[in-house]
Structures are given as structure tokens and as C-alpha cells.
Amino acid sequence: MPHDQPASAPGPAPADASDHDPAEAPFLGLLATGAAAEEYERPVLRARAGGAAAARLAALERAKLLALRVRTELEDRRRREAELSALYATAHDLAGLRDLDAVLRAIVRRARSLLGTEVAYLTLNDPAAGDTYMRVTDGSVSARFQQLRLAMGEGLGGLVAQTARPYVTDSYFHDERFRHTRTIDSGVRDEGLVAILGVPLLLGSGVIGVLFAADRRERVFEPGQVALLAAHAAHAAVAIDTANLLAETRKTLTELEAANEIIRDRSSVIERASDVHDRLTELVLRGGGVQDVADAVAEVLDGDVEFTEPGRAPAAALDRSRAGGHAVRDGAEWVAAVRAGGEVLGALVLRGHPALDPVDQRTLERAAMVTSLLLLARRTAGEAEQRVRGELLDDLLDAAARDPRLLRERAARVGADLDAPHVVLAARMSGAPISDGDGPPRPDGTDRRRLWSAASHLAATRHGLAAVRDGGAVLLLPLEPDGDPAHTAREIAARLGTALHVPVTVGASAPVPAPAARPAAVADAYAEARRCREALCALGRAGQGAAAADFGFLGLLLADTRDVDGFVHRTLGAVADYDARRGTELLRTLGAYFACGMSPARTKDELHVHVNTVAQRLERVGRLLGPDWQTPARALEIQLALRLHQLSAAVTRETEE
């Protein structure tokens, strides 16, 4: 060792052990002990006083800020936990109260406690007067304030009651968001209130009152406090409703006790009422109908009960029953209106029982209520099914590219089989205008709905589809293997006309073999059915039904299929079959007869036969074709059919050669 160097040279000063600790370490202890916010500055101050490096100080600053954020979050959670605990305790306390006044006082007192305000109060709505009035206060000193009434929309409370939304003001008299009135402002000024928070007491979708918390100085109510009072108000509304129900129950029990002796004497009546209740419940559960309800009530009441449509029931008695909501006596009969809301669906009429005690009267009224439910359920289900059927038919008519598999699935849900042959029918009420393609159809909406309803019902009973279109109705009905579209059209026209009490014109298409496989064929068939329908109207046959086959040669123009062979067979089939069976020449004779100007003398020269032979053959033709075969219209059809038959035969010979 060189002797000019000390034996031991002093090294650098030892670092503070805390310099090597994580920066978060000193703050974890503060968090654990719940130290005050100012305590979080001390670790930084100590490090700075001890000459800690800048990096250490920066790390401590970051750790301090993070710890303060955690502390704030913990405090918020503890505060929310305390609020929730208070709400839970409030709900528990309210659930144990039974008297309405005690419930209201507890609500207001707890609201004041939850928000730490000087005053809390509660107003309730008065449906009869159409306003809201002061019901309970806590901390109030003004008699005028305690007797306030607020019209809907007036003052902060009236605005809350009207809009069903919380409102808060830091300074009531400087807030112009709500309508100030002299009466309300005087009451608030007497009480000395400045900051007010009001939340609605909601029961279902309706407001039954308003709960307030207020201070006599300016104060900002935080969103959390608004939410806290709103949650308390929700519990309070349920408690008020429960107390009201209990009060009503007590009142009912008192009344029942007073009537106990009468009930004992009328045990047989009660048993009948119980029996009808059980039977009506059973009927509803097993899907019974209106007549089942009438039969059950008739048996229990020992009379004759009939459900009648509104137009057939005694009008005056029906009006009285509807207005009063009870069964009424009409001579020797009792009438109970079957209604849903403001709509009268009919009436239950009890005959053979001129005197009804209150229990039996209530039994009839209950039966009317059950009947209305059954009718509404049936109507709702029917309308839903009608819409589904109509939408499916609309898709068949408008969207030819629909997936056949999906069409079959949708049809199966309504009991239709789109793989079976169907016929398309176009129906229109007599005198109803049709759409010209440039705008919506113009017939009266009520007529359209009546026609659609009748057509939909008819389609449902036949496992078909129906929709409204072009000012009329279109039906897609299954066709039996030997079914005739023309016969179907006449039948549907008659049934719709009977149902609607007006003539209905119906045109039918040729059979559509499988609508699901070829949706485009449905639209073509509908166009053909419409042409047939309009042809009927043009020919003065409105109110009837027909298919293209009913129009003779005109049907060739109306039909999309251009069924020439079918037309020839319908016109001359009987004659052609006779020739085939007997080896006669009736068709040849018929052709020569028309070619010779319907002159038997010239015809016998053309055929080289005796004139008597021509006469005998024409007589046979008349028996086969009918006595009117020589009228101008029939003669024209027969000549056209003969010409088409000759052309077809010539084409066949050329093909064979």
C-alpha cells in the first residue's frame, strides 16, 4: 500500500433504507389505517427532506396520487354501502308498518335522515280535484306551507307530479324552469326553503305523489343523492300501496264480518257461486266456448241463458248494463253486457228467473266477464292467424323466388298444404272500385275489412290463405282431385255474399298444381282470376262466380293456360265421344252444316247423303249439345271449336307422317 494514502478512506454516505423500498409501501399502511388525506403528503415530504433522488420523489408522487384515488374509491364505496344499508333498513321498517299515516310519517322522516336535510315532506295526488296536496311534513314550521295544494305543473312539486321526473333546484326563487304562483311561493317563503329536491312516487306507470327533501340554504344535491331519494321513493310507493291495500282489506273484512250472518243463511247460494266459479275456470282452462259458459250458468241459476249479438239484445237494458257494469233486469229477463273496454261484444240474457239475489246476479256478471275474455281471446287468435295467412299469400304473389322449403314450413303452421292442387280466387264486393295500378285501392276501409275478415274466416275453415289486394280479396284454396274451379268460384261468391249481405263477384283461376314448388304460378293464376272477375262485371253478372271455362271461347282469352284442348272437349266432347263409340260422322256433318250456311239441303249435297239423314244427324247433335246449340252465341263457340279441332287433327296427321 502506498504510504501517502490513509489506511482507510471514507466511502459515500450510506443511502436511506427507504430509498430501496417500493414507492407504494408507505401509502399502503395509510390506506390500511384509513388515514386522512393530508397524511399522504408526509412520505413525500420526508423523502424530499432526506435528499432523495428525483426519480424516487417522482415515484412517490405517482404512488401518492394512485393511493389518493384508491382512498377516494374506497370512501365512495363505503358511502354507497352505507346508503344501501340505509335503504335496506328503510325498506325493512316500511314493510313492518301497517297504518297508512305511520307509513307516510316514516317515509318522510327517513328521507330527511338519508339526505341530511332540514325539511322533508310528501304530497299525494288527488285524482278527483286534479291536483296534489301536502300530506305529511317533517321539520316544517309553517302552517301555510303544511296546507299547500299544487295544481299539476305549478311549482316544482306540480312539475314533478305532472312529468313523473325528479327535479332539483339549488335556489327555488331564482329558478325559472317551473311556474311560480303567489300561493306556492308564499308558502315556500314562509317555510324559508331555498334548495329543494323532489322525486315522484311511482306506482306502475302512474304518479301517486311526490317526495321532497329541502334545505333553508343554497345546496347542490349530487346525482347520487337524487338517485338515493328516488330509490327511497320507490320503496315508499310500494309501502303506500301496501298500506292502502291493507286498509281496504280491513274495511272489506269489517264489511264481511257484518254480513257474516247473512252469508250463513245463504250458504246454498254461495255454494252455487263457488260451483259456477269452478266450472267457468275449468271451461276456460280446457278451451271451452261461449255456449259452454251460457250452458254452465243456466244450469247453476236454474234458468235459460243465451248469448246474443249486440244488435239482438234489448237495447235499453244493454245500455244500462254497459254503463253501470252490472246485470240489469228487463221485464222478466236479466241482461248482462259482455264488453271489453268501451266495446260491447254482446250480452248474456237470463230467462225464467225474474228474481235474482245479489250473489246470483254477480254470478251472471262474472259469466259475462268470462265470455268477454273468451271472445277477445278468440278474436286475437283469429286476427293473428289471419295476418299470418295474409302475409304468406302476399309473399306467394309478390316474391316468386321464395325458398319452397320455407314456404312449406310457414304454410304448415297454419294448417295449409302448398304441395296440393289449389285454386286462386279474386273476390270483390259489388260496386267496390278496383285499383288502376297508379295508387291504392279506393273502396271504403270498412268494406275492405269486412271482406277480408269474411274471406280470411272462409280460408281458415278450408285450410287455405286469404289477403286483401287491389280493392278486393284474394283466396288460395285447396282443390279436390275432382274439384271444379268454376263450382268453387260460385260457392265462394254465394258464401261471401251471405256473410256480408251484399253481392260479391268471384273469379277463379285454373288449378295451380303445387304453389310451393312454383310460387310464380300463383301470381299468374291471380291475374287470370281477376280477368274472370272483371269479365263477369262487364257482362252484367256481378255477384256471381265463374272460371275461364264458363266463358266459352272468351275463356281462351281470359285464361293464362290457353287450354285449347279443354275448350274443344267442353264444347264438342259429347259429339266426339259419340262418334268414337258408334262410328258415326256427327262432327263431319256438323262442320258441313255450318259451312253450308246452316242449310240442310246444301249440307246433304256436300255430304252426298239424303236430306233425312242430315236431319237425323242434326237431331242427334241437338240431344248431345242441348237445345240451344243453334243460338248465335252457342253456334259461334261450336264453329270455333270445330275449327280448332280440325287444326289439331291436321297437326296430328302431319306429326305422324
DSSP, residue by residue, 325-354: TS-EEETTEEEEEEEETTEEEEEEEEES--
Say if CB 440 and CB 429 are below 8 A apart.
no
Q: What is d(CA 72, CA 80) in angstroms, rounded to the nearest whole number?
A: 12
Radius of gyration of the chain (CA): 46
Of 647 and 366, which is predicted with more confidence? 366
Q: What digits encode the pLDDT tens for the residues 218-228?
A: 999 988 888 88
What's the confidence (pLDDT) of residue 369?
80
Whether the predicted pLDDT of 30 surpasses 80 = no
Region 100-127 average pLDDT: 88
Q: What is the reported pLDDT for 441?
A: 41
Task: Evaluate if residue 105 carries a pLDDT over 80.
Answer: yes
| pLDDT at residue 3, as a whole number | 42
What's the pLDDT score for residue 191? 93
State the burial class of residue 135 (Cβ atoms within 10 Å of its Cβ: 0-12, 13-18, 19+).
buried
Strands 504-508 and 545-547: parallel
Region 279-308 average pLDDT: 76
Please report which confidence band the pLDDT of residue 94 belongs to, taking 50, 70 and 90 as the band edges.
low
Residue entry with cell 347520487: 224
Average pLDDT, the chain: 77
Task: Place 193 in a pLDDT band, splitting at 50, 70 and 90.
Answer: very high
Between 163 and 87, residue with greater pLDDT: 163
Between 386 and 520, residue with greater pLDDT: 520
Amino acid at 592: A
Closest CA to 443 of 476, 398, 473: 473
Inform me whether the pLDDT recorded for 272 exceeds 70.
no
Beta bridge partners of 202: 207
Residue 420 has pLDDT above 60, yes or no: yes
Q: How many CB atoms lie within 10 A of CB 337?
A: 26
Q: In the 8-state DSSP scheme, what is residue 12?
A: P
> pLDDT per residue over 245-263, tens digit each?
877 877 877 777 776 666 5
Distances in Å between the Cα of 68 and the Cα atoms of 21, 42, 44, 65 are: 19, 13, 13, 5
The DSSP letter of residue 16 is: P
Spatial distance between the Cα atoms of 60 and 26, rounded to a whole number of angstroms:
9
What confidence category does residue 198 fall into, taking pLDDT thresholds of 50, 70 and 90? Answer: very high
Give residue 117's pLDDT.
Answer: 92
Looking at the chain, the whole-number percentage of residues with pLDDT higher than 90 is: 9
Span 573-588, average pLDDT: 85
**pLDDT greater at residue 516 or residue 649:** 516
pLDDT value, residue 88:
58
